[in-house]
Amino acid sequence: MRRHLKKTILSISAVAVFSTGLAANSWATTDIQWWHAMGGVNGERVNKIAESFNASQDEFKIVPVYKGNYTETMTAAIASFRAKKHPHIVQVFEVGTATMMAAKGAVYPVEEMMADSGIKLDKSAFLPAVISYYQTADGELLSMPFNSSTPVLWYNKDAFVKAGVTEVPKTWPEVFAASKKLVAAGYKGGFSFGWQSWVMIENYSAWHNIPMGTKENGFAGLDTQFTFNNKNVTDILSSIAKGQQDNLFLYGGRRGDSLPMFINQEVGMWINSSAYYGGIKKQAKFDFGQTMLPYSPDVINKPQNSIIGGATLWVLKGHAKEDYKGVSQFMNYLSSPEVQAWWHQETGYVPITKAAYELSKKEGFYEKNPGTDTAIKQLSLNTPTPNSKGVRFGNFVQVRDIINEEMEAIWNGSKTATEAMDDAVRRGDKLLRKFEKANR
């Protein structure tokens, strides 16, 4: 019995010694947790960025952790915050912005953090269309832009030749005309799109300089209301629904679900994020191009600018002050021209700083890959107006679901465009009021 006890005490102390050893080891560098939503190839690129930052200094160690898709990552971060086990940095997609902004006690604004850590942040170096989405009304930058994209019109050059489409469409009537030729040439359909709320409501409105909601699309206050059931929006949606009868438009599902239709050459045009560049390049067995979004000439003579999608990095409060110095250094590293230009060229996301854009130009990237500067040109086509600097609505993840549902009701013929958009606005406003109440 006594021998047994002795043995136990020995092993306990061994464990204790061992674990202090471990702890002492980890004091050498401070771990910074970074939760992100970049799976697959982009996940490897994220790891590469972290590795090269870690190699550049020996005080901090960035630990990137993949937490699933955007919604899963955001939910995981929020749940972990409630349990006080949250990461330092979390990647949140643009529709989560209003939710993150409202969480004042949880979020450490990037601009404030950089100032506290004594690292200079030059906001004028960033593209206005990118950072305006993430600034407060007073211009304070809340989160660090990381991966931003914007919808563009992807087209199949071979199909255009086969169908006799000589000019790349610039306007919606031209898109329909080209679609007719494609269908006549034997293609199953003319065009399709994904992320339909982002592409056809949010960006269509910004591109035509019309508001999607009151109060500067929600930037100027929580008491905002939706207005996207206006005639300009319902007109384009009804003409698309009408075009469905002749297969000019084929609906292929939410998010990126319709990509295979473009890859398999069922449709000749596809409107979706510029960030599909890597994927299309890898899979398409035809010559493809990208061009700016089409506009409706009866709504606007010249398009305004499109708005971004993608995600930014938010910093969460509640860690040691010293840690945030590391976070600031990392943010600084991340927005350096070299890292940004590399990230942009590899992924198709837009460069977030002017310097990164210039660097890519100098390296001859756009000459070797024509069309890859479409997104950035489109975002900076004009100085953003209150209608085109972005959208900031509460509960917007759910609102997008509502818009998806109502648009699907148009595509399957159960509602007219006007009915569907009226319903979407009515249901969306309810969620806005709920958000207003919870964040008063």
Partner 1 sequence: MIKRTHFKSSPLPYLLVAPQILITVAFFIWPASQAVYQSMLLEDPFGLKSEFIWFENYVLLFSDEIYFSTFLRTVVFSSLVAFLSLSIALLLAATADHVVRGTRTYRTLLIWPYAVAPVVAGTIWMFIFDPTLGIVSYFLHGIGYEWNHRLNGNQAMALIVLAATWKQISYNFLFFLAGMQAIPKSLIEAAAIDGAGPARRFWTIIFPLISPTTFFLMVMNIVYAFFETLGIVHAVTKGGPAKATEILVYKVFNDGFIGLDLGGSAAQSVILMLIVITLTVIQFRYIERKVEY
Contacting residues toward partner 1, per CB under 8 A:
71, 74-75, 78, 81-82, 99, 102-106, 251-254, 257, 260-261, 264, 266, 395, 397-398, 401, 404-406, 408-409, 411-412, 414, 427, 430, 434, 437-439
Least CB distance from residue 35 to partner 1, whole Å?
Answer: 15
Closest CB to partner 1 among 234 and 335?
Answer: 234
**Bridge partner list, 90:** 35, 314
Least CB distance from residue 32 to partner 1, whole Å?
Answer: 21
Least CB distance from residue 70 to partner 1, whole Å?
Answer: 10
* Residue ranges of E strands in 56-184: 60-66, 89-93, 144-149, 151-156
From residue 440, give the alpha-carbon distance in Å to each of 27, 193, 281, 315, 389: 42, 37, 47, 23, 24
Least CB distance from residue 13 to partner 1, whole Å?
Answer: 34
How far, rounded to the nearest angstrom, does the alpha carbon of residue 240 sit from its chain's CA centroid? 25
- Would the CA dihedral through 344, 212, 98, 40 be positive or negative? negative
Least CB distance from residue 434 to partner 1, whole Å?
Answer: 7
Residues 6 or more apart in contact with residue 74 via CB below 8 angstroms: 90, 92, 93, 96, 99
Closest CB to partner 1 among 137 and 438?
Answer: 438
Phi, psi for 380 (deg, rounded to 5): -110, 25
Least CB distance from residue 315 to partner 1, whole Å?
Answer: 14
Residue burial 183-208, b: 16+ Cβ < 10 Å; e: rest: beeebebbbbbbbbbbbbbbbbbbbb
Closest CB to partner 1 among 235 and 266?
Answer: 266
Distance between CA atoms of residues 218 and 396, nearest Å: 11
Closest CB to partner 1 among 26 and 283?
Answer: 283
* Secondary structure (H, E, C), 155-193: EEHHHHHHHCCCCCCCEHHHHHHHHHHHHHCCCCEEEEE
Distance between CA atoms of residues 134 and 130, nearest Å: 8
* Three-state SS at 315: strand
Angle at 404 between CA 172 and CA 202, to 5 degrees: 50
Closest CB to partner 1 among 350 and 397?
Answer: 397
Residues 6 or more apart in contact with residue 178 via CB below 8 angstroms: 160, 163, 165, 169, 190, 268, 269
Least CB distance from residue 103 to partner 1, whole Å?
Answer: 4
Closest CB to partner 1 among 112 and 346?
Answer: 112
Closest CB to partner 1 among 57 and 412?
Answer: 412
* Three-state SS at 7: helix
Least CB distance from residue 173 to partner 1, whole Å?
Answer: 25
* Residue ranges of E strands in 320-428: none
Closest CB to partner 1 among 8 and 283?
Answer: 283
Closest CB to partner 1 among 103 and 300?
Answer: 103
Least CB distance from residue 253 to partner 1, whole Å?
Answer: 4
